[in-house]
Amino acid sequence: MPRTAPKDAIAETQALTLLVFGLAGETFALPVTTIHEVIDPLPVTPVPNAAPHAPGLINVRGIVTPMLDVRLRLRMPPAATAEATRFIVLELLVSGIRSRIAIEADAVREVVEVDPTRLEPVPELGARWPAAFVRGVARHDDMLVVLLDPDTLFAPDADRPAPNA
């Protein structure tokens, strides 16, 4: 009987497919496995007393979906909606429950494949994003793409300070 490679070894050799988008002049990506759809901007209904990073809700094809402000989590300035602005609707496990959430991107650029073994860590000097929200940096053509970690970026308690050790 032939031996097979461990599941983790197989996953590490397969290309990582990413949705590349722009925020505040920078290039970010999320795994396409987390993307439900990309849509034109919709009206956002504010939620009183909501967390600053989750200020409102949108109606996506009859499903009420929380709108999250990724810029706030990544310590970026707010931006006005422009012609290229798109909402990225994600489907992920949040606190063990399959959930849809939406984020606003300045522009959605393309879907690319990168070799996961070629991801580089974000240098500690000069990185302005919280390290917990970033999986690494990938090179694609002539650009650097910051791969966000949806498991930490969209965790409900991501804005809470870490307990003292």
Task: Give the pLDDT score at 9.
Answer: 43
Task: Give the pLDDT score at 125.
Answer: 63
Using CA atoms, how far apart are residues 86 and 88, in angstroms rounded to an integer?
6
Q: Token pair for residue 41?
A: 């901007």
Using CA atoms, how far apart are residues 39 and 137, in angstroms rounded to an integer?
26
pLDDT tens for the chain, 165 residues long, are 443 334 444 455 688 999 999 998 899 999 999 999 999 999 999 999 988 888 899 999 999 999 999 998 998 988 778 899 999 999 998 878 899 999 999 999 999 999 988 888 877 766 678 888 999 999 888 888 999 999 999 887 655 444 443
CATH topology (fold) of 17-153: OB fold (Dihydrolipoamide Acetyltransferase, E2P) (2.40.50)
Where along the chain do its domains lie? Answer: 17-153
Q: Which amino acid is at 44?
A: V
Contact 131, 122 (CB under 8 A): yes
Residue 45 backbone phi and psi in degrees, to 5 = -90, 115
Task: Give the pLDDT score at 3.
Answer: 39
Q: Is the pTM of this model over 0.85?
A: no
